[in-house]
Structure 1
Amino acid sequence: MTSTPDFLWGLPEVQKLNLSRNQLVVIPPSLGKLDRLVVLNLGGNCLKSLPKEIGLLRNLRVLFINMNCLTEVPAELSLCRKLEVLSLSHNRISQLPLSFTDLTSLRKLNLSNNSFVQIPLCIFALRSLDFLHLGSNRLENLAESIQYLVNLQIFIAENNNIRSLPRSLCYITTLELLNVDYNAIQTLPDDLYLLHRLRRIAWNPMDKGLHIAHNPLTRPLPEVVEGGLDVLFNYLREKKQHN
C-alpha cells in the first residue's frame, strides 16, 4: 500500500504501531490523534517529510523513521519529550532543529547513512545519550563539545572523513565501544588511555572496544595497535610523559 487506511486514525487507544516497509509516500496530520502511541515504526517507506502533528504524540518513547527519503525533521518532534529511542538512519538529512535540545530523555540516537558534515550542535545537550551512531556521513572532525555527552557508552563514527580525534573525547570515561574504522585518522590523542572501559582493540563490528582499523595511522602506531590495547595505552601514556 502507498497510503494508510483511514480507520487507523480512529483508534486512539493504540500504543504500538508498525507501518514499516509499506511504500508509504505520506503520513497524514491525523497521526496526531494517536496520542497514546508509545512505539511508532515508519521505517523502510518513501517518506519525504513528516507532519508537524507528530509533536502531539507526547507519550512516544520509540520512533523509527530509518530508510526513507527525509531531508529534514520537523522541529515539532522535539515536543515528544518522553522520546528515548530515535532512528533517522538511511535518509538524506544534513541538520537537525536546534529545538532537539529539549529531547532530554533521549538515550539512543541513530543518524548513520545521512549527509551530516558536522555533528549538529543540539546533540551536545542530550546528556542522557548512551548510544550515538554517526557512521557513513561526511564528518571531517568531531567537535571538542563531544565531552558533554557524559553518559555515552557506544559511539560509532565509522566510514567518515575524520582526520583526528579531539582530546575531549578521552574524557567520556563511560565509553565501552568507540568505532572510528574507515576514516582519515593519522594520530591518536595522548589521553586516549583514560578510556579505561575500552577492553580491547576490536575487529568484529559487534565487539566492544576500540575500532581503529582502515585509518592511515602514522608509524609506529600501526605496529603498536597490532600489539593490543594495553600496548597502545602504555605507548600513549609514555608519550604524554615525555611531551
Structure 2
Amino acid sequence: MASPGSMSLDGLSSCSSSDSEFHGENAEDLSFSELDAIPEFLMPCAHQLKSLQLDHNSITVLPRSIAMFKNLITLDLSNNQMSHLSSELCSLSFLRTLSAKNNLLDTESIPKDFGSLQALEILNFSGNGFIDVPIQITELSRLRSLYMGQNCLKSLPSEVKHLTRLQNLYLGGNQLSGIPAEVGQLQNLACLVLCDNQLQSLPPTLVSLRRLQSLSLHNNCLSTLPPEIVSLNLVELSLRNNPLIMKFVQEMVHNPPSLLELSGRTIKSEKVKYSHHDLPGNLLHYLESAHRCVNPKCKGVYFSARVEHVKFVDFCGKYRIPLMQYLCSPQCTAAHPSVQASESDTDDDDSASQKIRKVLLG
C-alpha cells in the first residue's frame, strides 16, 4: 500500500471523501472553539490528518503553518473573519474540498498559485466580498462544484470554459447582468444557479448544456428567454419574479369594445363584402387593421379591444411555462370560441398554431 505522501493524483478520482473516510486519528473538528489561529497541539500529528474543520472561529489570516497538513483532503475555514489565504495553502496537493464561505475574502486574498491545487474538486467561496472570479479558479481542471453565491460578482470570465468537469455552478445572490457565451462549453454542467442577480438576457449557447437538469433564474430582470432553451431536458426551472413572469400575473383589465369595433368585427366575421365605393378611406383602413384571435377554434377578430390571456404550455414534458396570447373576448376558449369555425376555415388552423408558437419561442 502506498503511503499518504506517495499517493498519485490519478488515484484521487477513485477515492471517496465521504464522512466515513475521516474519523479518529485522521480527522479533527475544532469548529466553534473560539480560535484565532491553528492550535500548536495539532502540529505533531499534522501530517496524519486528512480532514480539518476550523469553521466558526475568529481566524483572520490562514497561517503559514497550514503547509504542515500536507495530506489534507478536506479543509473547512467557513464562518471566520478571514481576509487572507496564505500561499502555503497551495502546497496541499491532495486537497479535494475547500470551504471558506462567509468570510472577508476577495480577489486579492487568493494566492497567485491557487490554480496549482489540481486535486481540488469542491470549492465554496460563497458569502465573501468577491467582485470578480479570480482567474486562478479557472485553472482548477478537476473542479466539479463551484459555489460563489452571495458575493458582489459583476461578471464571469470567459475562462470559465476551462472548467470542463464542472457539474454544479452556484452564482446566486450577486450583481451579474449577463453571463458569457462560454458557459455553454461546460458540457458536464448539471446544475446552474443564477438566481437573485440582475440578468437581463441569457446566451443562446446554453442549448449546448445537454446534461443540465436544474436552472435557477428567479429574481432577475429577464423579459425574454432564448428560444433555444426549449430543447433542454430540464427537470427544474425557476423563473419567478422576473418581468416575463410578473407581467403574466398582474391584474388584467378588459376594455369593452366600442360600437365601431363591434361593427367591424361583425363585418369581418360574417365576411360582408365591401369596397372603396361603399366606405370612406378611414373605415377601410380600420377594417384592414383587424387581428385574428389566436384561439385556433375561434374565427373571430379584434381591433383594439383585445383580452390578455395567460396560457401555461407544457415544456419538456415536466413543467409548464406561461404564454401570453391575445383573445377577442374574455369568454373565448377552445371549448367555447366566440366565433365558431366553419368547415371551410379548418385550413387556417395551422396558421393560428404557428402564431402561438412564435409568441412562445420568438
Greater per-residue strand proportion: 2
Equivalent residue runs for 1:137-156 within 5 Å: 137-156=174-193
Contact 2:202–2:225 (8 Å) recurs in 1: yes
Contact 1:224–1:232 (8 Å) recurs in 2: no
Equivalent residue runs for 1:1-243 within 5 Å: 1-10=35-44, 11-72=46-107, 73-196=110-233, 198-199=234-235, 209-217=236-244, 226-229=312-315, 230=317, 232=321, 238-239=357-358
Contact 1:9–1:31 (8 Å) recurs in 2: no
Structure-2 separation of matches of 1:141 and 1:27: 33
SS at match of 1:101: helix
Instruction: Give the aligned residue type for 1:214.
Output: N
Deviation at 1:27, TM superposition (A): 1.6
Contact 1:116–1:139 (8 Å) recurs in 2: yes
Structure-1 separation of matches of 2:361 and 2:53: 57
Structure-1 separation of matches of 2:360 and 2:61: 59
Contact 2:248–2:322 (8 Å) recurs in 1: no
Instruction: Give the aligned residue type for 1:54.
Output: L
Deviation at 1:173, TM superposition (A): 1.5
The unaligned stretches of length 5 or more in structure 2 are 1-34, 250-308, 324-353
TM normalised by structure 2 equals 0.60
Contact 1:12–1:33 (8 Å) recurs in 2: yes
Deviation at 1:221, TM superposition (A): 6.7
Contact 2:179–2:203 (8 Å) recurs in 1: yes
SS at match of 2:200: coil
SS at match of 1:63: strand
Deviation at 1:102, TM superposition (A): 2.6
Contact 1:164–1:187 (8 Å) recurs in 2: yes
Deviation at 1:94, TM superposition (A): 1.6
SS at match of 2:244: coil
Structure-2 separation of matches of 1:236 and 1:145: 32
SS at match of 2:62: coil
Contact 1:118–1:141 (8 Å) recurs in 2: yes
Measured at CA, do residues 122 and 92 of structure 1 come closer, stay the same or move farther in structure 2, by a change above 3 Å?
same
Measured at CA, do residues 221 and 47 of structure 1 come closer, stay the same or move farther in structure 2, by a change above 3 Å?
same
Deviation at 1:120, TM superposition (A): 2.7
Structure-2 separation of matches of 1:225 and 1:86: 41
Instruction: Give the aligned residue type for 2:70.
Output: D
Measured at CA, do residues 189 and 221 of structure 1 come closer, stay the same or move farther in structure 2, by a change above 3 Å?
farther
The unaligned stretches of length 5 or more in structure 1 are 200-208
- State the Cα RMSD in Å: 2.6
